[in-house]
Structure 1
Amino acid sequence: MIDKKEFLTKYNIEESELEASALSWDELTAICEDYIQREEKLRNIGKDFVNDYLYDIEKAGIHSYRYRIKAPGHLLEKIIRKRCEHFERFEKIDRSNYYKYLTDLIGIRVFFLYREDWIYFHKYITSVFENNPDLYVEDRIHDFDENEAHYYIAERPKVYRRTGDSRIYDEDIIDIRSDGIYRSLHYIIKYKGYYVEIQGRTLFEEGWSEIDHDIVYPYFKDDEMLTDFSTLLNRLSGMADEMSSYFRRMRSIKEDTEKAAEKAAENAEGTGEDA
């Protein structure tokens, strides 16, 4: 059994926040114990997903990937936070149904070298999984599909875009959310009885995000100094992404120029022979 005081301290949760969630410690403990029993199954499902759909990175249109299952402490922390932020939506969550509410128990990250390359993965994932708006989940309990053999995209794919990204996304095929400083693709897949969350980012974006989540989010998001430092690092990662795109564009221009020069030389040589 997890120690309540130790848990609250580790995850920077006030006793008042726990009370506001209206979840008893006994219920949270029961959720944790149930989840621990499911961990191995979830880990195997994540491994199966990777092996079935992402192992061939060229086919999937990605640079690389990694996956994890949610840690028990983070699970409880998120449930408390969600109950406080959206009580009505999470009012009925308990030990018997929490996995129907949380879509990121199994989390997969896919990475791109260039920000524009998201479209290749999008086309791939929406071709291997059914993407029918009629199947998108609204009510976490009522809309949960108990058929473990039915694999499909359970929410409309969405992207959080940075300022200046407007030209690389198409709102007809993906839900565009404007954040300004954060870029990430999000897909929720129903797979083998559970939800799998896929996030897509560039390598530079992932570097900033990992540091931000390790130091700032969600436990020190009100710390002004840490937030300012994270914002600065975020800007640097955004500039690195832009430079990467410029590099590739310059290479493409140079290759086109060289090919045109070679073709012109060939034409000139051919004309001389005819003469």
Structure 2
Amino acid sequence: MTADGVTPADPQTVEIDVVILDEETLVRFDSMKHELGIFMDGVLRYLGDHPDLRIGGKQIVHSYKSRLKDREHLRSKLARKRAEGRPVAPDDLFRRVTDLAGVRIIHLFQEHFSQIDRLIRGKVVAGDWVLDERATAYTWDPEAADYFGAFDLSVVQKPTSYTSVHYLLRPRADSPLCCEVQVRTLFEEIWGEVDHQINYPVPTKSLACGEQIKVLSKLVGAGSRLLDSLHRVHQSSISEETAPR
């Protein structure tokens, strides 16, 4: 007992309580995993091959994929949040952790983002999906920040060089189901995969790796702009060839 009459908690008891709480949270996840997967698959199928995302007979989506968070990865995330002083209880899991189901839409040209954004918002306007919060564009690049600023997006410039647009979708406002949709270019996907291998969830302690990841992000930004320039030149040349003479 301390001087103020409070008996300190037994560390072993606290640890056991934490393990029990996390297991209850994981069981809650297990109970909704099937429904999460169904909602996620519907989002993926709608966006991945939608006919409105074809221009000139070509699909503007390069590729797409989805994933449900692995149980042990979720356990690790719960531990990280608790260490940060933000513990997650079973009853608030689906409000506090919004990336349990994820869809990624990858496109070649940045200028095609507008069509993908319009398609997502069309579903929201129709009442089929609900945005859990305002969609967010993460970028380190001032030019990209200016581009995304023209859309109904919160633009966040991240020091980590991460670049992607995130939408948190629910089938209705009070639903526990949430699917995080990430939209990014193929170049940004390459950077993200490299960073995920080296720098996530625990940041690399190697100064050289950290610096090279930043350099790679600059190359990715330049590459995306070059692709857009190539696309515009190509479209212009097609217009000239097909113009009546």
TM-score (norm: length of structure 2): 0.78
Which of the two has higher C-alpha Rg?
Answer: 1
Amino acid at match of 1:184: S
Offset at residue 113 of structure 1 (A)? 0.8
Tell me how far apart the structure 1 counterparts of residues 79 and 199 of structure 2 sit (CA, whole Å): 18
Displacement of 1:222 in angstroms is: 3.5
Distance 1:67 1:227 in 2: 28
Q: In the alignment, what sits opposite 1:36?
A: 30
Helix, strand or coil: the match of 1:200? strand
1:231 aligned residue (208, 211, 214): 214
- The 1:25–1:191 alpha-carbon spacing in structure 2 relative to 1, beyond 3 Å, is same
Q: Distance in 2 between matches of 1:110 and 1:78?
A: 24
Question: What is the CA–CA distance in structure 1 between the aligned matches of 2:125 and 2:229, rounded to whole Å?
Answer: 35
Deviation at 1:187, TM superposition (A): 0.5
| Structural mapping, 1:1-275, within 5 Å | 24-51=18-45, 53-60=46-53, 62-85=61-84, 87=85, 90-91=86-87, 93-130=88-125, 151-161=129-139, 162-171=141-150, 173-179=152-158, 181-191=161-171, 193=175, 194-259=177-242, 263=244, 266=245
User: CA 1:172 to 1:48, structure 2 compared with 1: closer, same or farther past 3 Å?
Assistant: closer
Unaligned runs of 5+ in 2: 1-13, 54-59
Q: CA deviation at 1:22?
A: 11
Per-residue CA deviations over 1:89-113 (Å, capped at 9, x if unaligned) read x45x312331221111110101111
% identity of equivalent residues: 23
- Counterpart position of 1:16: none
SS in 2 for 1:220: coil
Report what 1:8 is aligned to: none
* Aligned residues between the structures: 221
Go from structure 1 to structure 2 and tell me whether the alpha carbon gap of 1:58 and 1:227 turns closer, same or farther (over 3 Å shift): farther
**Shift in Å at residue 167 of structure 1?**
4.1
- Once the 2 structures are TM-superposed, how far is the Cα of residue 175 of structure 1 from its aligned partner? 1.4
Matching residue's letter, 1:120: Q
1:152-187 deviation digits (Å, cap 9, x = unpaired): 111111111323224422356221112363321111
Q: Distance in 1 between matches of 2:151 and 2:91?
A: 37
In structure 2, distance between residues paired with 1:217 and 1:119:
29
TM-score after normalising by structure 1: 0.70
Distance apart, 1:214 and its partner CA:
1.8
Contact 1:57–1:63 (CA under 8 A) maintained in structure 2 = no
Closer/same/farther in 2, CA of residues 22 and 240 from structure 1, 3 Å limit? farther
| Dislocated runs of 4+, deviation >4 Å | none
Tell me by how many angstroms 1:59 deviates.
2.1
2: CA distance between counterparts of 1:256 and 1:41?
Answer: 47
Deviation, 1:204, is 1.2
